[in-house]
Every structure is written in C-alpha cells, then in structure tokens.
Structure 1
Amino acid sequence: MAANKTNKLAFLSMPAPASYVAGLGRGASGFTTRSDIGPAREGPSAEAVAEAQARRGEEAEVDPEQFQDPDNEFGLFAGTTYEADDEEADKIYEQVDENMDARRRVRREARENEELAKHRAERPKIQQQFADLKRGLSAVTDAEWESIPEVGNLTRKKRKRDERSFVVPDSVLVGDRSKGEYENALDDRQQTNGGFETPAEEGTLTNFVEMGQARDKILSLKLDQVSGTTTTTSGLSTSVDPKGYLTSLESVVVKSDAEIGDIKRARMLFDSLVKSNPKHAPGWIAAAALEEHAGRMVAARKLIKAGCEQCPKSEDVWLEAARLHNNEDAKVILANAVQHVGQSVKIWLAAADLEHDIKAKKRVLRKALEHIPNSVRLWKETVNLESSAADARILLSRAVEVIPLSVELWLALARLETPERAKGVLNKARKAVPTSHEIWIAAGRLLEQEVFSAEGETKTEEERNKQLEQVDKTIEAGVGQLRKHQVLLTREQWLKEAEKCEAEGSPRTCEAIVKATVAMEVEEEDRLDTWVGDAESAEARERVGTARAILAYALRVFPDKKMLWRKAADLERTHGTRESLNAILERAVQHCPQAEVLWLMWAKEKWLAGDVPAARHVLEKAFVANPESEQIWLAAAKLEAENGETTAAKELLVRARSIADTERIWMKSAVFERQQGQPSEALETLKTALVRYPKFAKLYMIQGQIHQSQKNFAAARASFAAGIRACPKEATLWILASRLEEADGKSIRARALLDKARLANPGVDILWAEAVGVEERSGGAAQAKTVLARGLQECPTSGLLWSMAIWAEPRPTRKSRSADALRKAADDPLIICTVARLFWAERKIEKARQWFERAVKINPDLGDVWGWWLKFERQHGTKEYQEEVMRRCIAAEPHHGLIWQSIAKDGDVKAANKSIKDILEFVADTLR
C-alpha cells in the first residue's frame, strides 16, 4: 500500500510540461511573467510538440503547401505534361466559346440597347431634355439676345441695404393731408343750363360733357383700330367684335404670377412642339387653346390659322379654327376646309350648324350628300329637317338605295310607310341585311300593331288570336334565320330586347321573343330555377309583361309545379287585375288539384270580391279533390261563420271531425262553440279531443281559459296542470297557469310556477318577461329590475327583454340603453320599434316614422309593431298616413305579438269574427 502511494505521488517531483498552466483545468487563467521565462527562454521545439502529440494520440498537423513545388502548377492535372494535343484541344474549346458568344451577341446587344433606351426615356440626360430648346436658339435674333436680362443675385446672401434717409418735404405732407378731405359746400354760381360751375385753380371752368365726349371718341377710335371694318397695312382684316368688346372686358380673369409663369412655360413647350413637328395637328390645337385660356384670342387665331396651313388634312384643326372665330368667318374657314377634307362628316355638320335658316341648312347637307353619299348620319340629319312625311319618305327611299346595309334607315322608312307598304319595306330590308335581328322584331311589332290599330273592322276573338299567332311565328322564324346566318344572340340579349318591346308598347312581341328564346343555353336540370330567377329579375325592373311571359312559358313546361302557380298568382295579385288573377288560379287548380293552398287562394279571392256563392262553389270543388283536407274544411267553416251562417258552419265542423279528424279541427270546433256562447258544449268537445290528442297543448289552454272565465279556478288550475304535465315545453301553458294564480291573488305561487317553467325551458325570453311583469304588478320594482338583469344574462339577444330594459331606465339614460340593445340585436323589430317610440317621445316625427318603417320591414308578421305605428299616426299623422298603415297591415296579415294574439284569440263573443282592420284598431287602443 505504501509502495503504491509512493508511485502515485512520484509525479510531484517531475518537471512540469512545457505548455503547462497551473489551475487551467479548474477554470483559472494562467499568466507568465518575465521571471518565469527569463531573458530569452525558447518555447518547445517542433520535435517536442510532435512527441507530446504522439503521446496524447493526436495526429500532427500537415501543411498542404509544405511539400508543394512552386515550379509546378496546382490543380487536378498538376504534374502532367502539356503536349500538342492539349494545346489543340484548348484552341477548339476557345473557338466553340467564341461561336456561342457570337450567336448570342445580337440578342444580348438588342436587349441592352432596349434597356438603355427605356432607361433614357425614364431618366433622360440633361442634354437630351434641352435639345429642342437648343435647336430653337438658332432662330433667336441679336435684339432678342440683347433683351435677355442679366442674372440676378444667385448667392442667396443678403446684401447690406442702404440705410440712408431723406427728409420729406412739407409739400408732400400737406398734399397727403388734403387727400382725405371732402368738399361739402356747393358753389353759388349756377349755369344757365341748370348745372353748377366748379372753380379751378387757374380760374378756368371744367366741362365734364366735353370730357365724356372726348373719352367716347378715344374709345371708339381704339375699337375701330381692332374692329373687323379696319384693314391693316397688309390688307388683312381682323375679327374682333366691337359690340362685344366691353362685355369681354368684364370676363377677363386676373391671373396670378404663378399662373402667368405656367402659361409662359407651356407656351415655350408648345412653340417648340409645333416648330419641331409642324405636321402634328394636336400640337397646334393645344397651342391655340393655351392662348385662348390666356385671353390672347388674336394669337390663338393666328396659331390655328398656321395649323390649318400646316395640317390641311386634319378635320380637328379646321373645327377648332371655326370655333375660335365668329360665325361669318367660321363659314369661310369651313368652306376652305371642305376643299381639303371633303369626306369629313364633322366638317359638313359643323357647317350646317352655322346656318340659321332651314333652307340654308338643307342646302349644305344636300351638298354634303353629294360628297359623302354613304353617310348614315348625314341622311338622318337631312331627313330630320324635312317638315312633311312625304318628303322624308322620298329621302329615305333614296337613302336605303345608296346605303342598303343601314338597318336604322330601313326601320325609319318602314315607320313612315303605311302598314301594307311597311311589310314590303321590311322584306326588302330582311333580304338586304339578313343578319339583323332588329328587322325581325320590327316585323313582329308591325303585325301586332295591325291587330290592335285596325279601324272600322270588327274582328272576332278567334281572328285576332290567329293574327297574334303570326307574331309568334315571325319571331320564331327570325330566330331560326339568324341562327342559319351565324348570328347567335345570347339569351340575356334576347330578354333585353323583349323588355325593350314591352317598354315601347308591344307586349305580344315581347311574349313572342320570350317564347322563342327563353329556353336557349339552359341545362335541362336548371330550367326551373333559371326561369324563376329571370322572372323575379324582370319584376324587380318593373317589366311585368316579360316576367308574366317567362312564367307562362315555365308553366307550359312544368304545369304540375305548385310553386310556379303561386308565383304567377302573386304576380297577378300585385300587378294584374282581379280577372287575370282568377284566370290564373282557375288554371292552377286544374293542373294541381291536390294543392290545397291554390284552392284556398281562389276561394279567398272570390270572397274578397264579394261573391260568396262563387267562393262556396270553389270550396265544394276543393272538397271533391281533397276530401280529407283540414285547411279546406276549416276555410269552409270560416266562410259560413263570417257570413252569418253559424248553423252551416257548425255542421261543417261536425262533419270535419268525423272525416278529417285532426287536432286542429277539434280545437277550432271548441273555439267556435265558445264564441257562440256555448261553453258547456265547448268543454265536452275539449274533453273528447283530449282523449284523442292528449299532447296538444292548445286544447288544455282553451279548457283552462273557459274554466277561468266561469270563475272556476280549481278546474282551470287542474286543466293547466294537466297540460303542463303533458306538454312541459309549452311556455304559454306556464304563463297562463301563472296568470291564473295572479288572478286568484296568489302571486307567490305564480312566481314559483315561472321559476319551474324557466328550469324546464331555459333560454325562453317570454318566461323572463312574464316574471318581470309579475314582480312589477306585485309592487316590487327593485326585484323586477333584478329579474330583468338575470334574464338579459341568459337571453342577451332578446328584443323583448331589451325593450323592457330600455323603458325601465330613467328618461336621460334610455338613449344609451337603446344603443346597447342595438349593438346586441340590431335587427330585432321590437328594439327598432322601441327606438321609434323614443323618437316619438322626443317629438322627432320623421325619424320615428322612418324607424317604424324599418321595424315592419324586418318582420311584417309582428302585429304589435303595426299597432304602435297606427297609434303614432293617429297622434301625429294625417288621415292618409293612417289609411296607408292600415292598408299595408291588411296586406301583411300579421299573426304574432303579445297584444295582437291576446286580442285576436280572445274567446269573448263580442270579439269573434274580427277582421285584421278591427284587430289593428283594438291593438292601437289597448297599447299604453
């Protein structure tokens, strides 16, 4: 053990390695002083380092350039001999590289030149920017060089100003003092003519009349110098109008220095443009327009005259020159213009516009037609000047001979001819222009016009229908002929043509176009949806005839689609007559006898028209087609009941219970008996119905209400309790049971019932609203607010609860509360109605009316909103407004609303058989 220990510690007596640093392994930083290394201590030699690395197992570092011969080359083939073959190969590679470079050089240089040109165009050199100005310097005269001002101070250094001062003479001060004085006394000397003499300093008198005459004379001389009556030394006359000279002075706009500078720079640019490219007509026009803008009309006319000389083939220059001159000079200019551009229609039309006499206009246009006989516009202008139809017809006959391909001229000629001759004209037009669909449409409209405008002829309906069928055949043939000539108009284009015909008073032609083209480009499985969409779009654009034709075609293809018949009936109800609506419904029930709604619509229309026997007849037919239809039985009973036939109505309901036997028929029977003042029979009916339909909640409601109206609270409580057990999800049953307890003076039980109802039906806002009402009626306003807050937490988007919350707030905070409600449920009609009522309370009548309008548009089925609106109009509106609200409410036929339903479904005998108008008035009277 001692020997081993001695051997382990033997290293302590060994010398330290050459590169040893004490404590380096423990993270210490070693350092060496001069006392350690002495004056000239060498480091370990290369052999020592190699030996130490060998002991540690490390490989010695080898310098890659250590054994490299500097005379030899580097690389993969270092050390090989460069022979003649290598040299020949290198030359071949160099030749290949040169050939490849020469092949790409042309494209590369072209690309580089293009990029350079693009760069120069975007950022030109200063030398290029001023090249045109430098060329213009060659025309500068010596006098202009001398007139160039000297360069001012460009150093931007402030020069010391001369601060010398001078004494102002007393004469200046006295003269300035007298400038602001006024003479307030008149001279006593009065002339014989009634005027006054003004004394002068030298004793002479001033004659203001002579001064005015002298001024007028000088002004007239100046006007004569620039007027058209005076001639210059060159013999040319100017074109300044002396009468308008003074007027033109009033329109002179004083320009700022910046605008004047811009005009000068633009003038220099345009001057350079017209000098560098004198054949460029827009440059002359722009230069003249600049001078006109600057108010230098003489210079503008001069420039445009030079432009006419340089660009005689440009019609725009001549037209601009005519515009810049007066009427007489413009005539001369345009006369010169037609010598150079005689084929310009614009020049001839401008020349005709300068003439104020109709005969002169005709003469110019006829001269124009001699030069340009194939101009449709010239022929149209010439025809429009004719006062008689015969002369216009003669001109158009000649026009279609010269221009046989103009459809517009053919149609104009056909409109001027008699119907018989118009047919011949259209036949010639069809042969001349076989690719025009306008000609075929015009032919169809002509045939339709013949049928409805024949005077003195009595035609039977059959003959008229045959003639109208010719319209369909003509349009159908036209579509086929156009297809043969490869004229393929899209279905949308044809429908636009149909709408155009309807707008111009040709409904049968519109229908013929729809028949011939509405099925084009439509897949078989998409036909129904496409046609319904087309009809709705046409109706939205108020093209009722087109929509009616589309639906008629769709009904011929799909005669058994109930939805199509309903759309057609709705269209006729909105835009048609009562006869057309009855015709549609009669056809509808023939094709869809099992559609109960169509029978009911037809019977209702007969009933509204006051024809009760016809309505009974319709329902009898409906019974034959649908013997077990619940809706038809109920409609028949309602018809008899509202017309005073109570016995017949009761018999119908008894028969309906045995034939149809539905829960709704049993309920209506009980309601009818209750309204007739027979509560015991109603209870017997309900007892039998409950055995058959124990899950129908409305039977329990009616039974409980009858018992409650008889003050039999125990039986009513039992009815509601049985209904709650059978239908626990029916919120109305819970509410009726709660109100029964309130009516019996037991608010605690009512509150408990509503708590149980909310547990069974979470998230139902009407239960929370009823709970709030219970607390308010029992006098607990604070508790009501607490319940309302809890209800809003559970139903944050309930319009009913938000409306109650708004009215529960004090008046100053209602607006902010309504803003919160709108953020939570912006489209709720109850909230919109509440906001309208807030505006109503603030006397903002128009705003309130607008918000009531919004509310009924969102949900027209909510009767309470209609009631509030009518109440508002009764207070602030006119009779017309009230009638409009009633009319729209009757059309909407609302069925819901807390107050509306309580009145509409009231079982009182006096409230029976109420119309929508009556219910609306009751609701408006009840609302508080």
Structure 2
Amino acid sequence: MSHIGTVKHIPKEVRYNFLQMAAPASYVAGLGRGASGFTTRSDIGPAREGPSAETIADAQAKRGEEVPDPDAMQDPDDERNLFAGTVYEADDEEADRIWESVDTRMDARRRARREIAEAEQAAKERALNPKLQTQFADLKRNLSSLNDADWDSIPEAGNLTGKRRKHNMRLEENQNGRSYAVSDTVVADIANRNILLGELDKAQQDNGGFDTPAADGTMTDFIAIGNARDKVLSLQLDRASKDAANGSSTSVDPRGYMTALNSQIVQTDAQIGDIKQARQLLQNLIQTNPKHAPGWIAAASLEVHAKKMVAARKIIAEGCEKCPNSEDIWFHAAELNTPENAKIILGRAVQNVPQSVKIWLKAASLESDVKSKKRVLRKALEFIPNSVRLWKETVNLEDDPEDARVLLTRAVEVIPTSVELWLTLARLETPENAKQVLNSARKRIPTSHEIWIAAGRLAEQSPTAIGDVKLEDEAEKTRKLAAQVDKLMVGAVNSLKKNQVILSREAWLQEAEKCEQDGSPLTAQAIVKAVIHQDVEEEDRRNVWIEDAGKAAQGGFYEVARACYVVVLETFPTSPSVWRKAAEFEKAHGTPQAVQDILAQGVQHCPHAEVLWLMAAKEKWVGGDVPGAQAILSEAFKQNEDSESIFLAAAKLAAETGEMEAATQILEKARVQADTERIWMKSAVLQRQLGQLDAALQTLEEAIKKYPTFDKLHMVRGQLHQSRGATANARAAYAQGCRSCPKSIPLWILAARLEEKAGVTIKARSLLESARMKNPKHDLLWAESVKIEERTGSTQQAKAVLARAMQECPTSPILWSMAIFMESPQQRKGRSVDALKKAGEHPAVILAVARLFWGERKIEKTRQWMQNAITADADWGDAWGWWLKFEKQHGELERQELVIEKCIAAAPHHGPVWQAVSKDLQNIGKSTREIVELVAQKLE
C-alpha cells in the first residue's frame, strides 16, 4: 500500500499554542477577508488605539486592493487640488495683499456704526438684566461713610443655607426672647401629664412611675396657658359689651369681632416677598429721581396695599415736599388722609398749584355744607376763570334759577366760546330772552351746529318766539310751525357750509334721533329734510333713503323714519312701491287716519296702482266705513276698468256685507270684462256657497274649457262632486285635473285622500307614487304618504316611508317635525337637535321642539319656543293654533286673549290645518278670532 505522503502528528497543546500569543499591533479581525473589522474595549484594553490610516492603506496595497485617493473628495476650490501644481508667484501675493487691504478698509468704515450698535445693545442688556453689584451700587457708596462703631454693630449673617436655615432662625429668635409652637407630640405628652389617673398603665408601672421633672422642679402647663388666654379674651368681650350697653365708647365690637377676624386678609409668603421687592425698587426710584411724582404715588400706593397707612401718609407727605408742582401727588395725599387733614393738605396744594381744577374740585367736595362749597368754587374761579367745569359745578349748586342765570351770564362773558354754557343760559331764560341769547351765541360761535339745533327746538316748543301763530285748525297750526322749523334748519345747514363746517349725513341723522328722543319731533324731521340729500348719488337716492327710514324705525325713531318717507314720496311721487312702504310704516307705527291719508294721496299720484286702491278700500272696511270702501272701489273701477283684483275685492266686500246679489252681479260683469281664471273660480265658489251646486258645476265646466291648466278649477269641481256623494264623478274630476295639471301637489293629495276615504288605500298609495315620479323631491307628497300609513296603523311602514322621504328631502322641515315624534321618547330630544341643524328655523320644527317641552311640563320653555315659532314666521297659522291650545291648558285668560290679539294683528294665511279650517264652507265669513279657536280645537 502506497502513501502519497505522511502527516506528522502534532500534540494538542502545541497545536493551539497561538491562542495564548498576543495579537500583532495592527491586527484587526476579518480585515484580510475584506470585512470592516471592529474592536472593543475588551479586545484592546483601556486607552488603546486602533490601526492608523497608513497601516490600513499598506495592508490593502499588499493584498492588491485599490487604495482610494484621500484628496479625491476634496473641495475643488481648495488649492490643494485645483491649484496644487501652481506656483505661488509675486502677483498672487500682491492680489492677496490688495484683498486684505480692501477688507481692512471696509471693516474700518463699518467699525463706528458697529461699535455704537454694540454699545446700545449692551446698555439695553444692562437695563433689562442689571448685575447684582449694579443694583446695590448706591448702598455700596453709602458704606464709605460708616465708622468703626457702625461696622461693629452689623450683626452676623449666620448660616441660613440648607437644612440648618430653619434651625438657626429658631435659635436666633429664641435668643431674642420669642417663643414658638412646638411639636404636637410634645404638647400631647404635656397634656397627659396633667391628667389625674386612678391607676397606672403597664408601661408606667414598668418604668417605675412618672419621670422626674427638670432640676428646678418646674414644668410648662400649656393647657393652663390656653385656658387663661380664653378667660382673658372672654373678660375683654364682656367688658366691651357692658360698655356698649351703658353708652360708653369702646374700640371693640363684640358682635362683629369674629366677622372682623374672618375678613382679615392673610398675606402669603410669596405676597410678602413681592411687596418687599417692590418696596425696594420704588425706594431706589424715589432716591435716584426725587422729583418724579409718579414714583412717590406708587410707593405710597404700595404701602396702602400692604395695610400700612401711616407709612403711606409719610411717604406721600415727603413726596409733596419734593414735588410741590404736581397736582396728582397732592390729590393722592388728600385721598390718603382724613377729611380734616385733607383740607389742610389741599390748602397747601392750591398755594403751589393754583391753576389745578382737579385740586379745587376735590377741596369743594370735602366741604359738608353747600355754602362752604360755593365759597371754595368761587375762590377757584378767581384763579381759573376760564374753566367750564368750575362754572358748571358752581351753577349746579345754585337753587335759585335767577342766581344761576346771573352766574351763567358772567360765565359766557368770560368764556364766550363755550357752547354748553350758552345753551344752559338759554334754557334758563324766557323764550324771548332765549332767542336773544342764542343769536348772541351764534355770532360768537358761528361753527356750532348745537346752537342751531337749540334754536330749532326753541322755535318748536315756543312758537311765539319766531312769530305769532294763531290758527284755529290744530293740524294747520302744526303744519305752519313745521314749515318754520324746516326753514330754520335749512338756514342752519347753509350757514355752517359758509363757515366751512360740514357734518356727515350720519352725524346729522344722529342729531335728529337725539332731538326726537328729547321730545322735539318737528326739529328732528326738519334736520332730516335739510340734510338727507347730502352725499347720496342721484340714482341711489330712493334705496338709500328707504334704508335710512328702515334703520330709524328699527331703532324706535319713528319721526325720523316718517321724515325720510316724506322726502322719498316728494321725490318719487309716481312710484307705487314707495307709497305702499309708507302706508305699511304708518299702519305699523302710526294711526289709521295717517294710513288713509297716505293711501288717498297715493291713488291720486298712481291711479293705475291696483294695490293702493285695494289697500285704501281695506282700511276703510276694517275701520267700519263700508260705504267709504265701496266709494273707493267705484273710483278704482273708473281708473281700472278691467282689473281682476278690483272686481274680486268688490265682490268680496259685497259678500262679506251680506249683499250676495250684488256680489253675483259683480262677478258676472267681471267674467265678461276681465275674464280671468280666478274670476271664474270665485264665481263658482260663490255659487257653491249660496247652495247653487248645479250652477256652480256648469260654471266650472265652462271655465275648465277655457282654462284647463288652472288646477283650482279641477279641485273645486272634485270637492263639489265629493260633497254630493258622487265619488265616481269626483274621481274622474281629480283624474282629469292630474292629467291637465301634473305639477299641482294639492290636486294629487286631494285625489289620494278621496281614494283613502273610499277605502281603496292601495289606490291612494299608487296615486302618491305617481305624483312623486312626476314631482320628485317634494316633501308634501312624502308627508302625505307617511300620514296614510299612520292612519292605516302601519307604524313600521310609516317609518320606512319616512326614511326614504328623508333621503330624498334631507332638509324638509315638515318631514323632520314628523320624524321627531316617530322616535321613542328617550331619543326625541336628540332628534330635535338634528332637526334644528338640518331644517333651519322653520316654525314646524320649532313647534315640534315646543311640544317636547310641553310634554315635559316645562311651561316657560314651551311658551318661549312658541314665541320663537311665531317670530320665525307669523303667517304660519298652525303656530298660533298650537300656542292658543297651550295657553288654554296652562295659561290664564289674559295670556289667551293676548295670543288671540297678536294673531288678529298678524292675519296668518298658511299652515295645513289653518288652510283646511279657513277654507271650509262652514267657516266662510268667520273672523280670525273664530278661525284660530277652531284651529286650536282641531290640532292634535
């Protein structure tokens, strides 16, 4: 057997001997295999460095690896790479020298500004954050005047740091003879020592009895001390109460003693520290600048806050000596002292600052009687004769108007430019003399509009001052007086313009409102008429003036608004809308006679405005003047021969007054002259009301042939057949109407209700489904479908239909109001919140919320939400019905009558229940009061 070679046997201890050998200095594990080796402190020991970059580069070169160039990633602008091979020549040196000189020169140019900015910044920094040595610089300067005795008298600071601070403070205070509270355990132990025991406990028996007291045999009895203190306090209170009973003076109020103790303000350590710091700062302030009065005032106020009135008075007195020309410091000194001392202080003050009105007024206020006040104020007027405030205070003290008038006469001589003094003097004079006073004031102050306004008010209140107005007719007298005041205010505006005084429209209107508020309506109207044309473009006049009238009426200034409407009507007499707005304003805020006067003038200027004729006739009718209303309508026929509205108004007036034959004749004439669908419909309704059903059906047949798309004709015909019990004819009438008028929602609803009443609920559902297809997203159709399901008793089906309806009409108030009451009682309130967010402020939703509060018997909340529903829409008749029903259940008769009166004033026309009740044949001719009573009964 041949062997290729033999392997020499190596002992085990020799084979692994290198493991005990030290590694080379540059050895890194895994470096030869291309790995990035690492070493730890356990490998290299403490403070041992790894291989250097040269060693690693040599190792990589030996292995044949490419050694990266260390300068490969060098900055290209660095001369080691880009200019590494160039020679630094003389021109390079010259260039560097030139650039260095440029940098030096630029630095020198900016050095001054930089140093100034740095100095300012340093000053600001020192002011905001002063050093500790700077704060105590003045105190350090005072140390130079101390002698050896003063130095020796300074106490040692002691150790106040760390845990020993409190201990050292206690030691020092105990050395001063003061006592402090000890631990609770010590007090409890001392209390136990004074208890008389019949036997000793086990611990005391073990210890052999009580411990022996101190060497001198004394022991502090804290219980006895507390009892003695309480006894002394009770004796003091008893003595004080006896003194009070005997009428002697005492400094202790026994009844309010504990209250006074409770009302004492206990300041915390932080507050005390803040006060001390503020006191030191203010002390430095008044020492460095003793002539600065606010510093003394602040220092005194700080002591007042610290409840040290004596120190405060001392500081403010020193401040008065340092700043004798400051009226504020004298005023505060008087405030901090008693009234008697304050008089003395103010006496010194008027010697130093005799021109201070504030000081004189304070001195007058300290006097107790009026005579002394007058004496002080008149003395003040000797020093300050041109002070309006002093004159006013002096005049206010006079009880006799004659003395006040004499004073004001002197005041206007001394201060001829004071408008207020002139006006006050004019108010004290007789009308004749007041006119002279105002004329004199106007000459002295030609730029004052207040004097002109006062002249207008004087002319309004005392007409004899501007001329003799003696007329029998009171209205004519008022008109004449208003014309004179208007003329005066026009002259006022022109005079002010000549003197280059131009007030804005807003300022003049505010003055007019002030005059109306002060009881001068004619002056207010005169101001409006004189200035309303200012700063308004010609094409914007009507809108701006109507807006001004609306703002004034909203603010309660009805005379100003009335004047605005007068100007609008004079400027635009042929505009029916302006006359209508003016009539509506008078109806809301004026008298019935004023409304009739406005409408009478309106129909004269706008004879073809049907609405004005109708409003005028209605006002006469409402006022009980039926012949007057008929006369107006007759005159309206002459101006508007073919007017549908006037024909219908005349027929309604005749029917309401019981003249049925006249109403029938009017409608027959109207069918010939006007020939409109509404006239045919009203004719059929009147015949139905009179019981002429066949004639009514014949009229409807003729009308439908002429006007097949007028849905009300089909509805009236269907209701006629339905009232006669002809269900088939009614169904045919409604079907024809739905085909001719597919967009008429009430017609579809009437057809569905007919089928439901006939017992064919499936047909009713089908009709409403067809109506929804032709009129998508209409909430009334969905609401009727929900009601049908409710009436049939299918609550779950009603909820399902309502869910579909709300998906198609998510913001419908009618659907949301139904959804609230379909929820369980626990979820209705949350549903109502969603309804208010989604459906807005609609009366149907607000009524639903009110009914929720009603169910919870929250009476006031229910009443408030009922009012909110009326505010949202006063024309919604169902809201008035619900409110009246609520008041009948929970309110008094006065509240019920108030609701009815408000309903009559609002005259509602809409609402599902309201319309059904008001248009019922049995309720034709009934008043609003009767209708709202019936609605309240029908609501469920």
Coarse TM-score class (shorter-chain normalised) = 0.7 to 0.9
Q: Distance in 1 between matches of 2:447 and 2:59?
A: 117
2:506 matched to 1:495? no
Pair 1:904-2:921 in alignment: no
Q: Which residue of 1 aligns with 2:623?
A: 609
Change (3 A) 1:140 1:540: farther
AA matched with 2:372: A
Superposition deviation, residue 773 in structure 1? 2.7
Give the secondary-structure state (helix, strand or coil) at the position aligned to 1:279.
coil
Residue in structure 2 matched with residue 836 of structure 1 by the alignment: 850
Note closer, same or farther for the CA distance 1:878–1:44 as it changes in structure 2 (3 Å cut): closer
Q: Is the 8 A contact 2:159 2:165 kept in 1?
A: no
Separation of aligned partners in 1, 2:545 and 2:693: 53
Q: Is the counterpart of residue 152 in structure 1 residue 159 in structure 2?
A: yes
Residue deviations 1:200-229 (CA, integer Å, cap 9, x gap): xxxxxxx99xx989999xx99xxxxxxxxx
Check 1:664–1:130 CA distance in 2 against 1; reply closer, same or farther (3 A cut): farther
Residue 484 (structure 2) pairs with residue 470 (structure 1) = yes
CA distance in 2, matches of 1:730, 1:567: 33
1:68 paired residue number:
86
Alignment of 1:759-774 (within 5 A): 759-774=773-788
Higher relative contact order (Cα pairs below 8 Å, separated by 6+ residues): 1
Which of 380, 401, 407 aligns to 1:389? It is 401
Contact 2:717 2:733 in 1 (8 A): yes
Aligned partner letter, 1:301: R
Task: Give per-residue Cα distances to partners, 1:147-172, cap 9 Å, x unaligned.
Answer: 55624342458999999999999997
Q: Is residue 335 of structure 1 aligned with residue 335 of structure 2?
A: no
Counterpart check, 1:428 vs 2:435: no
Letter in 2 for 1:324: L
Decide whether aligned partners of structure 1 residues 323 and 814 sit closer, same or farther in structure 2, where only a CA change above 3 A counts.
Answer: closer
The counterpart of 2:276, out of the listed 257, 264, 289, is: 264
Contact 1:720 1:733 (C-alpha < 8 Å) held by counterparts: yes
Secondary structure at the aligned position of 1:811 is classed as coil
How far apart are the structure 2 equivalents of 1:692 and 1:131? 111
Alignment of 1:308-707 (within 5 A): 308-451=320-463, 458-461=470-473, 465-707=479-721
| Partner Cα separation in structure 2 for residue 826 and residue 499 of structure 1 | 36
Question: Among residues 280, 288, 300, which one is paired with 2:312 in the alignment?
Answer: 300
What is the CA–CA distance in structure 2 between the aligned matches of 1:499 and 1:538, rounded to whole Å?
8
The answer to whether the 8 Å contact 1:376/1:406 transfers is yes
Distance in 2, matches of 1:298 and 1:38, equals 93
Greater CA deviation, 146-155 or 625-634?
146-155
Letter paired with 1:68: T
The 1-side partners of 2:187 and 2:479 are apart by: 109
Kindly tell me: are residues 252 and 916 of structure 1, through their superposed partners in 2, closer, same or farther at Cα, counting changes over 3 Å? closer
Counterpart amino acid of residue 89 in structure 2: N
The letter for the 2-side match of 1:116 is A
Matches of 1:330 and 1:164 in 2, distance apart?
51
CA deviations 1:863-915 (Å, max 9, x no partner) are 22221121111111112221222222222222222222222222x3x322222
How many residue pairs get matched? 814
- What residue in structure 1 maps to residue 76 of structure 2? none
Change (3 A) 1:72 1:850: same
Write the distance in 2 (CA, Å) between the matches of 1:30 and 1:276. 79
Q: Is the 8 A contact 1:604 1:615 kept in 2?
A: yes
Q: Deviations over 1:629-686 (max 9, x none)?
A: 2111111111111111111111111111111111111111111111111111111111
Task: Measure, in 2, the Cα distance between the counterparts of 1:541 and 1:140.
Answer: 77
Following the alignment from structure 1 to structure 2, what is the Cα–Cα distance between the partners of residues 844 and 590? 55
CA distance in structure 1 between the partners assigned to 2:145 and 2:251 by the alignment: 39
Alignment-derived partner of residue 850 in structure 1 = 864
Shift of 1:804: 2.7
Structure 2 unaligned spans of 5+: 1-32, 36-57, 68-79, 172-181, 198-230
Q: Summarize the Cα distance change of 1:131–1:533 in structure 2 as closer, same or farther, 3 Å threshold.
A: farther
Please identify, of 392-401 and 759-768, the stretch whose mean Cα deviation from structure 2 is larger.
759-768
Q: 1:434 to 1:700 in 2, by over 3 A?
A: same
Determine the structure 2 residue equivalent to 1:116: 122
Q: 1:147 to 1:129 in 2, by over 3 A?
A: closer
Does the CA-based 8 Å contact 1:271-1:287 persist in structure 2?
A: yes
Answering whether residue 764 of structure 2 is matched by residue 750 of structure 1, we say yes
Equivalent residue letter for 1:541: G
Once residues 463 and 214 of structure 1 are traced to their aligned partners in structure 2, the CA distance between those partners, rounded to angstroms, is 81
Q: Distance in 2 between matches of 1:350 and 1:38?
A: 102
Distance 1:166 1:784 in 2: 80
Instruction: Summarize the Cα distance change of 1:820–1:440 in structure 2 as closer, same or farther, 3 Å threshold.
Output: closer
- Tell me which residue corresponds to 2:26: none
Distance 1:640 1:39 in 2: 124
The within-5 A match list for 1:911-922 is 911-922=923-934
Name the aligned partner's letter for residue 72 of structure 1: E
Q: How far off is 1:99 after superposition?
A: 7.3
Q: How far apart are residue 451 of structure 1 and its match?
A: 2.1
CA distance in 2, matches of 1:680, 1:733: 22
Query: Aligned-residue CA RMSD in angstroms?
Result: 3.9
Counterpart amino acid of residue 568 in structure 2? A
Equivalent pair of 2:738/2:748 in contact (CA under 8 Å): yes
The amino acid of 1:404's aligned partner reads P
AA aligned to 1:419 is: P
Following TM superposition, by how much is the alpha carbon of 1:708 offset from its aligned partner in structure 2, in angstroms?
A: 1.0
Structure 1 gap segments, 5+ residues each? 1-28, 32-36, 47-61, 179-206, 221-240
2:789 counterpart letter in structure 1: E
For residues 510-557 of structure 1, the C-alpha deviation after alignment (integer angstroms, 9 at most, x for no partner) is 111111111111122222222122111111111111111112112222
* Inter-CA distance 718–114: structure 2 relative to 1 (3 Å threshold): same
| Matches for 1:131-146 after TM superposition, within 5 Å | 131-132=137-138, 134=140, 146=153
Residues 469 and 477 in structure 2, CA contact (< 8 A), matched pair in contact too: no
CA distance in 1, matches of 2:84, 2:102: 39
Instruction: Give 1:835 deviation, angstroms.
Output: 1.8
Q: Describe the superposition over 1:349-377 as per-residue Cα deviations: whole angstroms up to 9, x where unpaired.
A: 11111111221111111111111111111
Aligned residues of 2:667 and 2:683 also touching (Cα < 8 A)? yes
Residues 136 and 272 in structure 1, CA contact (< 8 A), matched pair in contact too:
no
CA contact (8 A) 2:456 2:523 kept: yes
Gap change, CA 1:659 and 1:349, over 3 Å in 2: same
Q: Give distance in 1, aligned partners of 2:189 and 2:537.
A: 106
Distance of 1:915 and 1:295 partners within structure 2: 76
Instruction: Specify the alignment match of 2:800 in structure 1.
Output: 786
Cα distance in 1, alignment partners of residues 804 and 66 from structure 2: 94
What is the letter of the counterpart of residue 455 of structure 2? Answer: A
Q: How does 1:163-312 map to 2 (within 5 A)?
A: 175=194, 253-312=265-324
SS in 1 for 2:593: helix
Structure 1 residues 592-601 or 613-622, which shifts more?
A: 592-601
TM-score, normalized by length of structure 2?
0.79
For the 8 Å contact 2:752–2:763, the answer to whether it is kept is yes
Q: After TM superposition, give the deviation of residue 724 of structure 1 in Å.
A: 1.0
SS in 2 for 1:423: helix
Which segment drifts farther, 826-835 or 244-253? 244-253
How has the CA–CA distance of structure 1 residues 792 and 133 changed in structure 2, closer, same or farther, with 3 Å as cutoff? farther
**Do the aligned partners of 2:753 and 2:764 also contact (CA within 8 Å) in 1?**
yes
